[in-house]
């Protein structure tokens, strides 16, 4: 079934929403690969201009939606394995009327795109089909742990504001190469995104970049089978792309199992003793008292790989 060109105006309830998420809701039976293709090719326009999937709508934006071939019997559930649906349903750490906190497994992207058929947000929307589930923040595909979703537009904006003001605290665990100097407790190098000649997107320390603030709260050293490494407990005060990974690399202590910024030899060695993944875990979210939650801390259990490497298994 083919649709016609449609023009829509962004309302107050849609302000701040990503254009890809807006289209996912508007074109419910359109395959995700096709959806991202029409954005990339410029067939979707906002105020007559091309936009990227991460563009956030502003009140009064005029959105052009092109004619598309809709699948009458599309069923996105078929693309998501039943065992993953069950696993994520059992991995919900907190759920109330406004928010959901999920213990995201390593290897699962947070959303579709770049050839991926589904992400954590898609699974959550299938588990709660009658709700407008939105991502409050993001985790890298291979990072595990606490991932926050909003169940209403109002709670989405409130949680995002708590992140911006650092009132909602994010704490991570990372296992890095070598012995981290415990005296190094603060890293504030600005970060700049760049697209490489091969199309890969990477982040670099650069004075022209965005401010980024990482705090190291605790350091524990280990040596196992001749491999020296450190367990860091990290607090993020800003949420830049790949922030922890790049800040650790800048200090000469790359995160274990990192294929993009890591040390190849260290990755090989740490894998032989149980570190066969990106060794970065979003350990906890600490909420201040607000209109949607009381003051509380949500903790994602330490992954098995971390327990093996720290001797707690």
Catalytic residues: 140
Cα–Cα nearest to 137, from 106, 95, 104, 93:
104
Distance CA 307, CA 224 (A): 13
The total number of residues written for the chain in this structure? 313
CA–CA separation, 273 and 253 (whole Å): 18
Tokens 């060109």 sit on residue: 5
Residue showing tokens 């800048």: 250
Q: Quick one: which of 127, 101, 117 has its CA closest to 299? A: 101
State how far the alpha carbon of 136 is from the alpha carbons of 16, 161, 254, in Å.
11, 10, 27
| Residue at token pair 């009458």 | 72
């Amino acid at each position: 079934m083919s649709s016609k060109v449609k023009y829509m105006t962004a309302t107050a309830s849609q302000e701040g929403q990503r254009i890809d998420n807006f289209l996912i809701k508007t074109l419910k039976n359109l395959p995700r690969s096709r959806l991202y293709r029409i954005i990339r090719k410029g067939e979707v326009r906002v105020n007559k201009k091309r936009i990227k999937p991460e563009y956030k709508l502003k009140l009064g934006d005029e959105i052009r939606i092109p004619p598309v071939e809709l699948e009458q019997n599309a069923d996105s559930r078929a693309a998501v394995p039943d065992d993953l649906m069950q696993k994520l349903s059992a991995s919900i750490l907190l759920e109330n009327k406004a928010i959901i906190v999920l213990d995201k497994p390593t290897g699962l992207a947070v959303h579709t795109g770049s050839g991926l058929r589904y992400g954590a947000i898609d699974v959550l929307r299938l588990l709660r089909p009658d709700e407008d589930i939105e991502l409050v923040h993001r985790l890298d595909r291979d990072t595990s742990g606490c991932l926050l979703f909003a169940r209403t537009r109002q709670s989405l904006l409130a949680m995002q504001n708590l992140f911006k003001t650092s009132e909602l605290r994010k704490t991570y665990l990372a296992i890095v190469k070598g012995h981290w100097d415990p005296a190094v407790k603060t890293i504030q190098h600005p970060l700049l995104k760049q697209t490489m000649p091969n199309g890969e997107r990477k982040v670099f320390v650069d004075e022209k970049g965005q401010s980024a603030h990482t705090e190291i709260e605790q350091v524990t050293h280990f040596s196992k089978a001749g491999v020296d490494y450190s367990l860091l407990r990290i607090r993020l005060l800003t949420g830049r792309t790949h922030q922890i990974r790049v800040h650790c690399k800048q200090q000469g202590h790359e995160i274990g199992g990192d294929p993009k910024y890591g040390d190849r030899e260290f990755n090989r060695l740490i894998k032989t003793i149980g570190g066969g993944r990106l060794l970065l875990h979003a350990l906890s979210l600490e909420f201040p008292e607000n209109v949607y939650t009381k003051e509380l801390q949500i903790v994602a259990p330490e992954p098995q790989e971390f327990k093996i490497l720290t001797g707690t298994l």
